[in-house]
A = this chain, B = another copy of it.
Amino acid sequence: MTKHFADRLIEAIKKKGNPICVGLDPRLDKIPAYIVRKALDQKDKSPTTMAVDAILEFNKGIIDAVCDLVPAVKPQIAFYEIYGHNGIWCYEQTLKYAKSKGLLTIADVKRNDIGSTAEAYAQAYLGEVSMFGGENEVITPIFDADSLTVNPYLGWDGVKPFVEECKRYGKGIFVLVKTSNKSSGDLQDLEMKDGKTVYEVLGHLVDSWGANETGKSGYSFVGAVVGATYPSQAKLLRKIMPNTIFLVPGYGAQGGTAEDVKVCFNKDGLGAIVNNSRGIIFAYEKMGMPDVSYCEAARAAVLEMKKDLE
C-alpha cells in the first residue's frame, strides 16, 4: 500500500531538518543568458520548444542544487502553460526529474471543477488514466505529482474527486483558504451573520473534509494554503485546523517574514511547509552573483532561509 501523503511530507521535513518548499516558477527573461543562448542555437526547433528546453535545463540545475537540502518543490503551472503543449511537456519532465531526485512535488495548479471534470483533473495529476478499455486497455500515470493545490469555490463536489484519488494513491491536496495576495479579502474576508469570515468557514470545512484522513503523523492529506502575509488570520486558522498541513506562500519577495510564518506551525514545530520561489531560484540576481552561479546562489539562499526560519 502507498504511504500516507502527510506522513511522507512530515518525514521528509524531519529528515531535511527544515520545512522549505522551492517554488519552480521559471521566467525566461530571468534565466541565465548562457542557457537561453544554447537553446536558441537549435535552429530547427520552434520558439516554444527552445523556450522550454532552456527552462528545463534551468530547473534541473535548481533541483540538483537543492535536492539534498529541502523536502519539496512546487512548480507553478502557469509559467509552463504559457508555452502551450510544449510547456506542459516541460512541466511533466520537471515533476519527473524532481521525483527522481527524491523530492516531494506540489503541483501548483489551483484546479477546480465538479463531478467527472474534477475527476479527470484528479486522475491526471494524482492518479492514473485508463484508455481504450477491454483488450486494448492502457493504464498510465500522467503528471504523477505527490500533491496539488485546489480552489474550493465550487464546494465539496469540487474537492471530493481529488480526495478520492489521494486515498487511492497516497497523495495530497492543499485547498486555498486564505491566499497571500493584497485583494484576497475581496471574498475571503467577507463577514457572515455569525461574525465568522469566509476564510474561517473554509477553514472549518477543510478541517472536516480531512478529519478522517489523518496518517500516523496525526496530519491529514487534505492541506490548506494560508498566506504568510496575513499572520493574525493564519494564527486563527491554525487553531481551527489543528491537523492540517499549511502550504504557506508569501515568504520573502511578497513580504512575509519568519516571524509572520511562525504562527502557521503547531507547538510540535510541524504542520507547515513554507514556499519561496523567486527568492531562491533567482537569488543570483539579488546576491549580485554572475548568472552562471545561479545554482550556488540558490543553495546559499535555501541555507539562509533555513537559518531565518530557525
Please tell me the number of chain A residues within 8 Å of chain B, measured between CB atoms: 72
- B181-A157 in contact (CB<8A): yes
Chain B residue contacts of A203, Cβ below 8 A: none
Closest to A185 in B: B155
* CB closest chain-B residue, reference A118: B78
Q: Do B84 and A92 have beta carbons less than 8 Å apart?
A: yes
Number of copies: 2
* CB neighbors of B among A135-171 (8 A): 136, 138, 140, 142-143, 151-158
Q: Are A155 and B183 in contact (CB under 8 A)?
A: yes
* Most chain B Cβ neighbours within 10 Å, of A25, A129, A131, A191: A131
A258 at the interface (CB under 8 A from B): no
CB distance from A200 to the nearest CB of B (A): 11
Binding site for B on A (CB under 8 A): 25, 27-29, 36, 40, 47-48, 50-51, 76, 78-79, 81-86, 88-89, 91-92, 110-118, 120-121, 123-124, 129, 131-133, 136, 138, 140, 142-143, 151-158, 176, 179-188, 190-193, 198, 201-202, 205
Closest chain-B Cβ to A278's Cβ sits at a distance in Å of 9
Question: In whole angstroms, what is the CA distance A191 to B194 when docked?
Answer: 9
- For A193, the chain B residues whose CB sits under 8 A away are 191-193
Q: Chain B residues near A190 (CB, 8 Å)?
A: 190, 192, 198, 201
Nearest B residue to A121, CB-CB: B78
Contact of A114 among B120, B156, B181 (CB under 8 A): B181
Contacts A/B (CB < 8 Å), 10 sampled:
A47-B131, A47-B140, A79-B117, A88-B88, A152-B187, A153-B179, A154-B183, A155-B187, A190-B190, A191-B193
